[in-house]
Chain A
Amino acid sequence: MERKVAVVGYAMTRQASDIGVPRPIMLFELVKGLFDQMGITRDDIDTFVLCSNDFQCGRTISNVFEDTPVGAYMKDETKVEADGVMAVMYGAIRIMSGLYDTALVVGNSLGGSEFRPYLIMDYQLHPAYDRQLGILNEPVTAALQAKAYMEKYKITEDHLNKIAARLLRNAAKNPFALRGKEDATPEYIASSEYLYEPLRELHCYPFTDGACAVVLASDKRAKALTDKPVWIKGFGDSIEGYFLGDRDLSWSRSAKVAADRAYRMAGISNPAKEIDVAEISIKFASQEPIICEALGLFPEGSGAEVADRGLAEIGGEMPVCPSGGGLGAYPFSAMGLIRVAECAKQINGEAGDIQVKDVKTAVAHGQDGFCAQHNAVMVLSSEEG
């Protein structure tokens, strides 16, 4: 890699079911607050990368009304329509090109109060086939995926309940998360209604408003902007086919390919050993083992054992989503950005009650599409190396 890139600042809104202010105000307060906290102005930013989506915003060219709130007036700006990890990656790539030294990446979504997430997902279905048939929707596809994994590796609904309970307990300790429950038990999860068997309401992501901003800088500028830069060591993404029938839903091929790319770039050969914490984007409890295994954090098919032995707990062997992850909040376009920011928090020891001990290397993950058709993986580290 020609130039190194670091996360030098980050801020997120509280994630809420209704953030209560219009999008431009939310973005202005978030970004202005971040600039003030870092002691910089919008003139210190060379390039702006926005992450939002026309369907989520209910607006053609969603960045049109986001430019001025994030301070991009008369600046270089572009928009990524994908998960937030993709946007951070593109910001880093822009810096690596040598044309810019700093980038602001901002993602936002008002899925709690402004749009209906399952409906927005419906617009991703094949317009002349799946949308006409009306059989598939997001929870249905998630249930199919859950079954595929559970049948193959003999894991039960109780294991899903354990995963969800752990994430809600974590989320309760994260002041930014929308939905948490301090004493969540598997029984508590089991008491929620089925949406589509085997998935219950509390296995699914809550509809969330939220935004997150991350400032990236080249090695040249990073140290002037913070004394605790978090280095982007590697990244990768990959996509697979659209039709679910063509895919083996019991694992994630694209997450595996994406992770392989990111690890190769980061020089990681044994992720389970070398990674200290993972912040992954899952929409349903059943996706956690599938994604974790594709990322090489746990052995294939180990979902039951990981849940039973609490290996993914904050104090466990491989802490996964100390923030509560997607079950604590899932603000679509901001989701991946928040994962990156949570990794940076963990590395910098700023995670408060959800802090994992001695974090040097963390992995952030984001996804798009039904059953995580497109996955993005980013490795972050305290070491510049």
Chain B
Amino acid sequence: MRNVGIIGVGYTPVFVSKRKDVNLAEMVSESVEAVFRNTGLSPDDIDAITFGNMQTFEGVNLPHLLMSEHIRAVDKPIIRIATGGTTGMSTLQAAYYYVASGIYDVVLAVSWEKQSEGDSQVGLAGIVMPEAMVMVQHGMDLLGGRGMGGMGGGSTGAAAYQAMSYLHHSGADPEHIDKMAALERSNAALNPYAHLRKKTTVEDVQATPFISWPLRYGHTCPTSDGATACIVASEEKAAKLADKVAWIIGVGCCTSDPSTANFIEGQMTDPADQTVCKIAAKKAYEMAGIEDPAKEIDLAELYDGFAHQSLMWLEKLGLCKEGEAHKLLDRGVLNIDGDLPTNPSGGVFSTNAIGSSAMNRATECALQIMRKIEGEHQVPKTVKKALAHGWGGLFQYVTVMILSDTPRKI
């Protein structure tokens, strides 16, 4: 096993709801060219590529084939990874394994989504389409109007169940979700690569209508177009190629079952239980040699499709005790200048090009550690260790990555 670090990050110039000026390949190539520009490296320095997106969102199967030239992959090894919302992190973890194994020294990880070119609702419905058909055949009212109906939680899916259960068990109030939403949107306003960039107050959030109580329209993430490219390298290569490195010192991943939002198999897990998250975090902490994450982690970038999730993940990841996250929020601990800045980038909640969303959690941590953040959301405190988190599947899949300013002792 050898040490692996992130040596450079490149984003598309913007993450917005519609990039009508570029096609799929052109958009993704922008991120690849950006990472080469930012690192001073060239395609010749790259040994292999890992690549991911959620392909049903654009309707192109195996899009790495289509854009092999645009991402400078010709004559190189390339692997396509896809795990849903976590795709970006799974793709970056693949790059980690590629280098840690000793097979390759410098690997480019690329993840993206161009949601404007497809129908996200079709893409999402596609997760349980066959099962939903069978349920309808057996007389289920899918929209939940009556009977044993509903895919769960009405129009926001099982997220509303999750939010409700989380509030109940944590003791947080619905207003804490508003407050977290306002905090993250205001962080996003400082980040040039965020999609929804508007300084937002709690009152602004509270002015948005409820979709499924306790979730408001202002608690939900946008759909975005954008791409991210990231170069990882072995310790030896990093010393030659980079001035600053964010070391990947812990990786973890866990999956459970698709039952949370799928009626057909018997739902087994309370969506706010998140044992998967705890298992994934435990693995990553063990690998990173972290005993007390609440003390040792300086910054967190969490995958929050809905604003309550940031609070929930903080607890499940052991960054605070269960039921404490909203107290940290109230005390300002989660602010950019707080003790545990949480989603200084604005999170997935503000920018969601799905395939790249989980990778962006890690790249943001890396840039914070390297102090190379473009924009105003660089946290004032020194970041030694940061945690990046991804969430996906049908509520059942969690990835965790710990980044550090110093490599692991091996």
Which residues of A approach B to under 8 Å, CB–CB?
A: 1-2, 53-55, 58-61, 63-65, 67-68, 72-82, 86, 89-90, 93-94, 96-99, 120-121, 123-124, 126-128, 236-242, 253-254, 257-258, 261, 265, 368-370, 373-374
Contact A74 B77 (CB under 8 A): no
Provide the bound-state CA to CA distance between A80 and B50, in Å.
10
B207 on interface, CB distance cutoff 8 Å? no
10 closest A-B pairs by CB? A98-B1, A96-B101, A61-B84, A60-B126, A123-B61, A97-B100, A55-B61, A369-B65, A60-B56, A77-B255
Supply 13 A–B pairs (Cβ within 8 Å), ascending by A.
A2-B102, A54-B126, A67-B258, A74-B255, A75-B255, A76-B253, A77-B254, A78-B94, A81-B55, A93-B103, A258-B77, A373-B68, A374-B78
Q: Which of B68-82 contact A (CB under 8 A)?
A: 68-69, 73-82
In the assembled complex, how far is the CB of residue A254 from the closest CB belonging to chain B, in whole angstroms?
A: 8
Known: A2-B102, A61-B84, A96-B103. A239 touches B257 (CB 8 A): no
Provide the bound-state CA to CA distance between A374 and B67, in Å.
12
Residues of the B chain whose Cβ atoms lie less than 8 Å from the Cβ of A72: 255
Query: Residue of B at shortest CB range from A59?
Result: B126
Query: Residue of A at shortest CB range from B58?
Result: A127
Query: Residue of A at shortest CB range from B93?
Result: A78
- For the A-B complex with A73-B255, A81-B82, A126-B66 known, give 20 more contacts whose Cβ atoms are closer than 8 Å: A54-B56, A60-B56, A60-B127, A61-B127, A61-B392, A65-B258, A67-B258, A73-B257, A74-B279, A78-B81, A78-B94, A79-B81, A86-B80, A90-B97, A96-B100, A97-B96, A124-B62, A236-B77, A239-B73, A242-B67
Contact A238 B75 (CB under 8 A): yes
Contact B80 A81 (CB under 8 A): yes
Contact A127 B59 (CB under 8 A): yes
B143 on interface, CB distance cutoff 8 Å? no
Residues of the B chain whose Cβ atoms lie less than 8 Å from the Cβ of A238: 75-77
Query: Residue of B at shortest CB range from A62?
Result: B82
Residues of the B chain whose Cβ atoms lie less than 8 Å from the Cβ of A121: 61
B23 on interface, CB distance cutoff 8 Å? yes
Contact A1 B396 (CB under 8 A): no
Contact B66 A58 (CB under 8 A): no
Provide the bound-state CA to CA distance between A12 and B57, in Å.
32
In the assembled complex, how far is the CB of residue A227 from the closest CB belonging to chain B, in whole angstroms?
A: 26
Interface centre among A58, A64, A370, A373 (most CB of B within 10 A): A64
Provide the bound-state CA to CA distance between A236 and B48, in Å.
10
In the assembled complex, how far is the CB of residue B224 from the closest CB belonging to chain A, in whole angstroms?
A: 17
In the assembled complex, how far is the CB of residue B400 from the closest CB belonging to chain A, in whole angstroms?
A: 11
Provide the bound-state CA to CA distance between A90 and B83, in Å.
15
Query: Residue of A at shortest CB range from B49?
Result: A239
Query: Residue of B at shortest CB range from A97?
Result: B100
Provide the bound-state CA to CA distance between A98 and B392, in Å.
26
Residues of the A chain whose Cβ atoms lie less than 8 Å from the Cβ of B165: none
Residues of the A chain whose Cβ atoms lie less than 8 Å from the Cβ of B74: 239-241
Which secondary structure dominates where chain B touches chain A? mixed
In the assembled complex, how far is the CB of residue A57 from the closest CB belonging to chain B, in whole angstroms?
A: 9
Known: A94-B97, A98-B100. A63 touches B68 (CB 8 A): no
Provide the bound-state CA to CA distance between A236 and B103, in Å.
10
Place the interface of chain B in its size category.
35 or more
Residues of the A chain whose Cβ atoms lie less than 8 Å from the Cβ of B348: none
Which residues of B approach A to under 8 Å, CB–CB?
A: 1, 23-24, 54-62, 64-69, 73-84, 90, 93-94, 96-98, 100-103, 117, 123-127, 129-131, 251-258, 265, 275-276, 279, 283, 287, 392-394, 396-397
Contact B396 A64 (CB under 8 A): yes
Known: A96-B102, A97-B100, A374-B78. A78 touches B90 (CB 8 A): yes
Contact B101 A2 (CB under 8 A): yes
Interface centre among B56, B69, B97, B258 (most CB of A within 10 A): B97
Contact B23 A53 (CB under 8 A): no
Residues of the B chain whose Cβ atoms lie less than 8 Å from the Cβ of A96: 100-103
Contact A81 B81 (CB under 8 A): yes
Known: A1-B102, A241-B68. A64 touches B258 (CB 8 A): yes
In the assembled complex, how far is the CB of residue A283 from the closest CB belonging to chain B, in whole angstroms?
A: 15
Known: A60-B124, A78-B81, A99-B287. A242 touches B255 (CB 8 A): no
Residues of the B chain whose Cβ atoms lie less than 8 Å from the Cβ of A265: 103
In the assembled complex, how far is the CB of residue A366 from the closest CB belonging to chain B, in whole angstroms?
A: 12
Provide the bound-state CA to CA distance between A254 and B76, in Å.
9
Query: Residue of B at shortest CB range from A261?
Result: B77
Contact A54 B55 (CB under 8 A): yes
Residues of the B chain whose Cβ atoms lie less than 8 Å from the Cβ of A78: 81, 83, 90, 93-94, 253
Contact B69 A242 (CB under 8 A): yes
Contact A60 B54 (CB under 8 A): yes
In the assembled complex, how far is the CB of residue A145 from the closest CB belonging to chain B, in whole angstroms?
A: 15
Contacting residue for B55 out of A55, A63, A74, A126, CB 8 A = A55
Contacting residue for B61 out of A53, A89, A236, CB 8 A = A53
In the assembled complex, how far is the CB of residue B285 from the closest CB belonging to chain A, in whole angstroms?
A: 14
In the assembled complex, how far is the CB of residue B231 from the closest CB belonging to chain A, in whole angstroms?
A: 18
In the assembled complex, how far is the CB of residue B258 from the closest CB belonging to chain A, in whole angstroms?
A: 5
Residues of the A chain whose Cβ atoms lie less than 8 Å from the Cβ of B59: 123, 127
Provide the bound-state CA to CA distance between A254 and B90, in Å.
25
Known: A97-B1, A242-B65. A74 touches B275 (CB 8 A): yes
Residues of the B chain whose Cβ atoms lie less than 8 Å from the Cβ of A73: 255-257
Contacting residue for B393 out of A54, A61, A86, A369, CB 8 A = A61
Query: Residue of A at shortest CB range from B251?
Result: A99
In the assembled complex, how far is the CB of residue A168 from the closest CB belonging to chain B, in whole angstroms?
A: 29
In the assembled complex, how far is the CB of residue B280 from the closest CB belonging to chain A, in whole angstroms?
A: 8
Residues of the B chain whose Cβ atoms lie less than 8 Å from the Cβ of A98: 1, 100-101
In the assembled complex, how far is the CB of residue A224 from the closest CB belonging to chain B, in whole angstroms?
A: 21
Contact A90 B94 (CB under 8 A): yes
Query: Residue of B at shortest CB range from A1?
Result: B102
Provide the bound-state CA to CA distance between A237 and B97, in Å.
16
Query: Residue of B at shortest CB range from A256?
Result: B75
Contacting residue for B127 out of A59, A82, A93, CB 8 A = A59
Residues of the A chain whose Cβ atoms lie less than 8 Å from the Cβ of B83: 61, 63, 77-79
Provide the bound-state CA to CA distance between A254 and B74, in Å.
9
Provide the bound-state CA to CA distance between A168 and B168, in Å.
64
